[in-house]
Amino acid sequence: MAGYVTRRVLIMVLMLLVLTFAVFLLFNLLPADVARLTCGKICTPQTLEANRIKLGLDQPVLMQFWYFFKGLFVGREYYGGDAPIACPAPCLGYSFQRNELVTTLIGQRLPATIWLALGAFVFWMVGGISLGIYSALRRGKWQDKSVMGVSLIGYSLPSFFLGLVMIYVVIIQLKLLPFPRYVSPFENPVQFFQAMLLPWIVLAILYAAFYMRLTRSQMLDAMGEDFIRTARAKGLPERTVIGRHALRAGLTPIVTAAGLDLAGLLGGAIITEALFSLPGIGSLALGAVVNPDQPIIVGTVLITSAFIIIANLIVDLLYAAIDPRVRLE
C-alpha cells in the first residue's frame, strides 16, 4: 500500500513535469513577445533586447524550462523592473502584465473556484443519485421516461445558454436574487449564497444529468445480480435490498466519475465563472488566453492538472476501500 502510493506519487510528478513542458513549448509557438509586454509604451530596440536578457528569454526553451522547474522547488528571482522580484518556492512564475506572482494570483482565485465546485458537487450528487435510483425503480414507467427525458435535455444544454436563461428568468424577470457579486462566505454568508446559488444550480444540472443516467444503469445492473435475489430470499425489506445491497454494488463507477468531475471543476469552470463574474481559476485562465500571458497559463494548467492527477490517485485508493476484491500493488 505505502509502496503503491509512493510509486503513484512519483509517476504523478513525472506526468506533471511532462505536461508543464508541453504547455511551455506550445506557448513558445504563440505570436506573443513577453519582452515587448514588459517594455512599456516607448520601447527602443535596446530596451527590448535588455528586457529579453533580463527575463531569460534569450535562453533556449530548454533552459527557460529548467529555470522554471528549479523555481518550483527552490524559488527564483525575476528582473522585470528596477529591483529584482523574489518568487519563493513553489514559484509558478511572474506575470509581467499584471505585475503579480502567479502563485498570488492563483491563491486569490482558488477559494471562489473551490466553493463553486464543492457546492455544485453536493447538489448534483444528491440530485443525480436520488433521481437515478427513483428512475431505476420505476423502469419503463412514465416517471422513468420523464426523468430520463429531462436528464437528456440537461445533458445537452450548453452551460452558457442555461446560465443566461437562469440569469434572465431568476434575476432579471422574477428578481428573486440580486446580480451576483462574489464575497467570501466568512465575510457575508448571505451575499455569498445569493451569488453562488445560480452557478451551483447551473453546474449541478449539467452534471446531474450524467449521474442520473449512470446511477440508473448501475442500479438496474445491480438489481439483476444474484446477490440481490439472495438478499430478497433472506426476507429483507425492499428498502434494505435497494439501499444497502444494490446501491453499494453500483457505487464504484459513480465514485470514480465523481472524483474526476470534481477535480476537473476545481481547475475552474470557465464559462460559468465568466457568466456569473466569479473570480475563480477559470476566469483567470480565460483572461490569460485572451490576452496572452504565458506564466498564468502555465501556472493554471499545472494546478488544474495537479488536481486531476491527485484526484485520480484518490479515486484509485477509494476504489480499493469500496471494493475489497481490489488489491493495490
Residues that bind other proteins (CB under 8 A): 225-227, 229-237, 245, 248-249, 322-325
* 83-104 residues labelled b (16+ CB within 10 A) or e (exposed): eeeebeeebbbbbbbbebbbbe
Nearest to 132 by CA among 211, 247, 221, 238: 211
Query: Identity (one letter) of the amino acid at 54?
Result: K
Of the pair 135, 304, the CB lying nearest other proteins is at 135
Of the pair 82, 226, the CB lying nearest other proteins is at 226
Distance between CA 322 and CA 182 in Å, rounded? 37
**β partners of residue 165:** none
DSSP string across 41-110: SS--HHHHHHHHHHTTTTS-HHHHHHHHHHHHHH-EEE-SSSSPEEE-SS---EETTTTEEHHHHHHHHH
C-alpha cell of residue 283: 476566469
Of the pair 59, 143, the CB lying nearest other proteins is at 143
Residue 232 beta carbon to other proteins: minimum distance, rounded to whole angstroms: 6
Phi, psi at 101, each rounded to 5° = -70, 140
Of the pair 181, 234, the CB lying nearest other proteins is at 234
Of the pair 12, 236, the CB lying nearest other proteins is at 236
Distance between CA 51 and CA 23 in Å, rounded? 23
Of the pair 198, 231, the CB lying nearest other proteins is at 231
